A and B are shown apart, each in its own frame.
Chain A
Amino acid sequence: MRGRTVEVLAVALLGLAACGDDGGSRPDAGGDVVDAAPGVDVIPDAPPREVIMQTVAMEVDDTIEVGTMTGGANDRALIVMTAPTPTLSFNIHSHPSGGTVEAVSELNKQNVEYIFVPPSQATWFLLLRNDGGTAMNVELRVELHDNMQWSAL
């Protein structure tokens, strides 16, 4: 009887362990936050396959989904953004399996140089937000490497 109980408990513990969070949580974010695969968050020497350049006009409090990047752990994008004031916030996330996975969320930046390596194969949404008190134009440059695909929204 005791042996059987121990066996069932062991299976139960195993099952609960399988429920573990896959990325922890940020205090200001509800979605799971995941890190890029270690050692791959560098831009290769080869020139980008494609470069997207765009001026994003943002009113006060604007949140704009500027585009999506589709790729996986072997793909990379260099995202460069310049704002006139340190009031640019941005977020990259995806919605796999009906949930939300947040790759990055940064607040109140003026100059951004971010190497995005998707933690998993998915379509990743790039959102910008103007957290300042005046309208502004954000200069956006996205350099696509490997097989990363860009789709403007």
Chain B
Amino acid sequence: MERAVKALLVLALLLGACTKESVFGPPTGSVCPDEGTQLSYESFGAPFMVKYCTHCHSRSKVGNERNGAPSFHDFDTLSGIKAVHEHVDETAAAGPDAVNEGMPDYKTPPTLEERTQLGEWIACGMPDETDIARGDNHGVP
């Protein structure tokens, strides 16, 4: 009986060690401010991605260089972010409904303020400077 318990404990330990933890959380529920956002791709989105994401999520990275980042999930262009922005929100952003910390898998992760800004920028439609200049910074209608 004791033997069986030990064996089960070892099995449980091993299975626990190989379980893949989900990197996805719930949508953050971030809302674009009424006045729109002043966060642009140039001032916020691109620097955030360079600092935290494109070490792996880049079209220039292949094979092991991607550290497990799925192909076609590359954030070195604005359209690359927009294509999977809901997943970016669910893995790295913060808002009233959730603080998602599934990504990045870094020793120095984004601050809560940066994650909240990411949520706002996504909620506002991920504008660039041109969008902001023409007032297109209030999110997708």
Inter-chain contacts of A65 with B (CB < 8 A): 83-84
Verify if A4 is at the interface (C-beta below 8 Å from B): yes
On whether the beta carbons of B79 and A19 are closer than 8 Å, the reply is no
Smallest distance from the beta carbon of A44 to chain B beta carbons, Å? 29
- The residue in chain A whose Cβ has the minimal distance to the Cβ of B76 is A61
Inter-chain contacts of B62 with A (CB < 8 A): 27-28
Smallest distance from the beta carbon of B15 to chain A beta carbons, Å? 6
Which of B40-48, B65-73, B109-117, B128-136 lies at the interface with chain A?
B65-73
Q: How many inter-chain contacts with C-beta < 8 Å in the A-B complex?
A: 96
Chain B interface, number of residues (Cβ within 8 angstroms): 36
Q: How far is the CA of A8 from the CA of B14 in the complex (A)?
A: 12
Smallest distance from the beta carbon of A33 to chain B beta carbons, Å? 9
Verify if B141 is at the interface (C-beta below 8 Å from A): no
State the main secondary structure of chain A at its contact with B: mixed
Inter-chain contacts of A63 with B (CB < 8 A): 72, 74, 77, 79-80, 82-83
Inter-chain contacts of A8 with B (CB < 8 A): 6-7, 10
Q: List 20 A-B contacts (CB under 8 A).
A: A8-B7, A12-B14, A16-B14, A16-B18, A27-B62, A27-B63, A28-B71, A29-B71, A31-B71, A61-B77, A61-B79, A63-B72, A63-B83, A65-B83, A97-B20, A99-B20, A105-B71, A105-B72, A127-B83, A127-B84
Residues of A within 8 A of B (CB): 4, 7-8, 11-12, 14-16, 18-19, 26-31, 59, 61-65, 89, 91, 93, 95, 97-100, 102, 105, 125, 127, 129
